[in-house]
Structure 1
Amino acid sequence: MPKQYHALIPAIQREGFYFVEQTLDPYLALQKSDVLKRFNADPMSFIPSRHRDKNLRVIAMDKNDAVLQSQVMECARGSFSDDRFHMDPNCPRELADLRFFNWARDLISDPGVMIYIAMIGEDVVGFLAQKQDQLILAGFKQQFARSGLGDFLWLSTLSNMMAHGFDCVNTRISTNNTAVLNLYARLGFKFKNPASMFHYWG
């Protein structure tokens, strides 16, 4: 929250709002990314050695495939714990999980959204949704969280975006999620627009 708004916090809190999250907007100029250049030259080097024999691939999702739809939505349901809804003590875990399940379902239904999926064999282990120059939502199955596969999924998506003429990519993250914050820093993203999020339950 910009410094000039700090004086508003007591008034907001008196009305029943409470702080739940700080956010940042990562952004990256694709043509200037040294990490993306290295990935395009040798994608396999970005797969951790323990996963190289597992038929890992990242593909654009066929959003008409009911099996893939179900896998992505279930992946979204179980991926998150550091967002503002899961961190809110007044929001039940089941409701927070359902929010992401429904969000993934809506993204699948949106014709303007491309979803890239990381697959091992026939199983979706992670996904990343893109709309125009925005990365909207991403997640991994719990057993693949912090597996080292994030760089490969993100860079595969960024490479496809660059191939389709995008110059820059933008997104928004919670600073509670240190794993994704570190991922974006590792991939060379810069950060702007810090903001504070407040909730109100009527």
Structure 2
Amino acid sequence: MLLVDDHQIFGELLGEALTATGMEVVGICGTLADALDAVAETRPDIVVLDHNLPAGSGAGGVAAVKRHAPGTRVLMLTAAEQRSVLQEAMDAGCDGFVTKRHSVADVIAAVEAVLRGETPISSDVAGGLIGRRTPSVGGDLTRREAAVLQLIGAGLSNHDIAAELRISVNTVRNHVQRVLTKLDAHSKLEAIAIAARHGLLRADR
């Protein structure tokens, strides 16, 4: 795992907390340029990336990491809570989004979720994705698939969705795959981004 944050003390403290859980932190970088060099050298499983970095930030940073190491997952950790920041990060292929108002335990949980292949998103910014609906997109989703999409948008994992809907995790995976196919998305976060653009996410969660 590689941590990228221009606040050295924050990066070091987060690194210590993650190491204490048994995760391996291969480096802590303060700039995007240094991070890209480290990504090329170490090929980490995940990069925890701050949004505001000297000479490069936001969606551009996510896209750059993905270009250098397509198999590396990116979790954005940021103080920015604007809808535009989240939308751009998701469009760039970000695998998770968590704000710095959350506790270290929440950040660790988000890292673990991304490593499991899930797509955590902070509930405090998920509501900003609500918009007007474009009927032509998502119109072929079944009622259950639409329900699964809402829960994905709320940041729930497959296991949490299974518990919420009282169905098996395998059934959830099947529904998720059909949602991705119908929205022409390659990941959960891309599906959320598409759903947000076309007003498919409700404000009642």
TM-score of the aligned structures, taking structure 1 as reference length: 0.28
Which of 1 and 2 has greater Rg? 1
Bigger helix share: 2
